[in-house]
Amino acid sequence: MRIKHRWVALLMVLGLIAAACGGGGAEAPEETAATTAPPATTAPPAGGGDGGEEPMDDGMMEIKTDVGVDLEAGVIKIGLLSDLTGPFGPLVSLIVAGQEVFWQNVNDTGGINGLKVELEVRDTQYVVDNHVQFYEELKDEVVAFGHSTGSPHTVAIVPQLEEDGILAIPLTWYSGWTDADLGENLLHHGAPYCIEAQNMIEYLMKQAQANGVENPKLAIASLPGDYGLDSAAGAKIAAETLGLEVVYDGSGTIIPTDESTLTANADAIVASGADIVWITATPGSFAPIYGQAIAEGFQALWGGAGPTFNPAFVAPDSAIKDAIARDWYQSSYYANWFDDNPGSTEARELFAKYRPDAPAQDFYIEGFIEGMMMKAALEKAYENGDMTQAGVLAAAKSLEQVDFNGMAPPERFTGTPNEQLQRYIYISRPDPEGLAAGTSTGLQMIEELYIADIVKDYVFEEACYKLGG
């Protein structure tokens, strides 16, 4: 290629890349959550870092530390294994933002007994290899993991976590984390998908019966993997316990990258004539299925695991906004952003203080919940005088109960798995008017701390869905 042409080509390529980068220097932080640039790693602190430290000897109680806690510099490092640019990027970025604001507030109000918490964020892009790689990198830098995104990813590092004796908070609601074998180094939180499904199926059944349908028929569809199949397993358990007929079982058949599975599911759901549809998918794969079904005149009560719904569905310009406001019942593991419980209120105030331009999103609360659990563990470890990795793990596992200021039901970490199992969920309905007016995030809570009768009686022995061996 002639020299001149090559330089022109290079310039065009650079232009393309600059266009792709989108929100660059001059712009203010992005408005919509979906295009928010993901957060980056924090700059390493100027002092100390990751070596073994001698116990402080200035009149304070002696605190043992090994990795991730630098008493002299007053820094505690927490690692976050997040998916920032992968399939769950937009969602996890919000959770990371929630954690950042939470810890910023903690640091500004005295820290953990004077120690400030710093986050080391790594983008795994939802690839297991990267997850394992970053775990290896961070295991000698941080005292614990503030969250670990993805079930197969977390399962991949469980053997190492156990060998290295480090604590991690899984960022998934798989029922296996409550199982003592798998969850030894993990802090489960939120009703698992399986329990969420059981709660919701009973609730939807009661709604259907109130609408005059005596024996509602159930259709189930889901993604494969822990998320979809754990939720579908819960729906099936509920159907069996309640005596509901399952007229379509499409668990594990929704493949987001394969459109034929979406149309096939929509057709099957419509043909089955179900009264209740339990669908666990990503928003991007749920929307076409729902759209096609209602276009064919299908009407039923629809519900699914929390992450299936996206507030954009009830945005003013959404084609399905009225239908979904009529049909959809949303479950979630924590309260809404605009709820008036003390935790949500404080979270809103903190965001107004530190990130006034950030749009309202329910997912920030998950970041706060993770932060609160880690804070409880760190404070307990400090009290015990042992802030080594093993010390923080032991402290976390000895916490009887962690409260979330009304944002979520308390979590128990002592006792049998059956006693620790989280059984409460929050139920909301889509709220297009509220979203348009800015008074809600697109969801209006109707049931707080809901527990179904069948869930009250449910005995937890092991995960509803076993992740492949």
Residue number with CB closer to other proteins (6 or 326): 6
Q: Which of 19, 43, 210, 459 binds other proteins (CB under 8 A)?
A: 43
Q: Which of 223, 244, 268, 324 binds other proteins (CB under 8 A)?
A: 223
- Does position 54 bind other proteins by CB under 8 A? no
CA angle 162, 167, 172 (to 5 degrees): 100
Give the number of residues in contact with other proteins, rule: CB under 8 A.
61
Tell me the Ramachandran region of residue 363: left when phi exceeds 0, alpha when psi lies from -120 to 50, beta otherwise: alpha
Residue number with CB closer to other proteins (286 or 426): 286
Residue number with CB closer to other proteins (2 or 456): 2
Give dist(CA 317, CA 275) in Å, integer.
Answer: 28
In angstroms, give the least distance from the CB of 243 to other proteins: 29
Q: At residue 119, what are phi and psi to the nearest 5 degrees?
A: -100, 135
- Does position 468 bind other proteins by CB under 8 A? yes
Question: Which DSSP helix (H) or strand (E) runs through 323?
Answer: helix 321-327
* Distance (Å) of CA 313 to CA 86, 184, 196, 319, 324: 21, 38, 22, 8, 8
* Distance (Å) of CA 207 to CA 201, 216, 329, 382, 443: 10, 10, 10, 49, 18
Residue number with CB closer to other proteins (1 or 459): 1
Give dist(CA 393, CA 167) in Å, integer.
Answer: 5
- Does position 359 bind other proteins by CB under 8 A? no
- Does position 467 bind other proteins by CB under 8 A? yes
Of 132, 104, 119, the residue nearest 68 (C-alpha): 119
Touching other proteins, residues 157-176 (CB under 8 A): 159
In the three-class reduction of DSSP (H, G, I as helix; E, B as strand; rest coil), residue 389 is classed as helix
Give dist(CA 70, CA 74) in Å, integer.
Answer: 6
Tell me the Ramachandran region of residue 35: left when phi exceeds 0, alpha when psi lies from -120 to 50, beta otherwise: alpha
- Does position 212 bind other proteins by CB under 8 A? no
Residue number with CB closer to other proteins (46 or 437): 46
How many H helices and E strands in the chain? 15, 16
In angstroms, give the least distance from the CB of 398 to other proteins: 29
- Does position 129 bind other proteins by CB under 8 A? yes
Chain Cα centroid distance, residue 389: 24
In angstroms, give the least distance from the CB of 43 to other proteins: 5
> Residues 1-30 vs other proteins: string with x where CB under 8 A?
x----x--xx--xx--x--xx--xxxx-xx
Q: Which of 63, 75, 76, 97 binds other proteins (CB under 8 A)?
A: 97
The answer to whether the beta carbons of residues 67 and 53 sit under 8 Å apart is no
Touching other proteins, residues 307-326 (CB under 8 A): none
> Cβ–Cβ contacts within 10 Å for residue 372, how many?
21
Single out the segment in contact with other proteins by CB under 8 A; choices: 132-140, 270-278, 307-315, 367-375.
132-140
Q: Which residues bind other proteins (CB under 8 A)?
A: 1, 6, 9-10, 13-14, 17, 20-21, 24-27, 29-30, 36-44, 46, 84-85, 97, 100, 118-119, 121, 123, 125, 127-129, 132-133, 136-137, 140, 151-152, 155-156, 159, 223-229, 252, 255, 355, 466-469
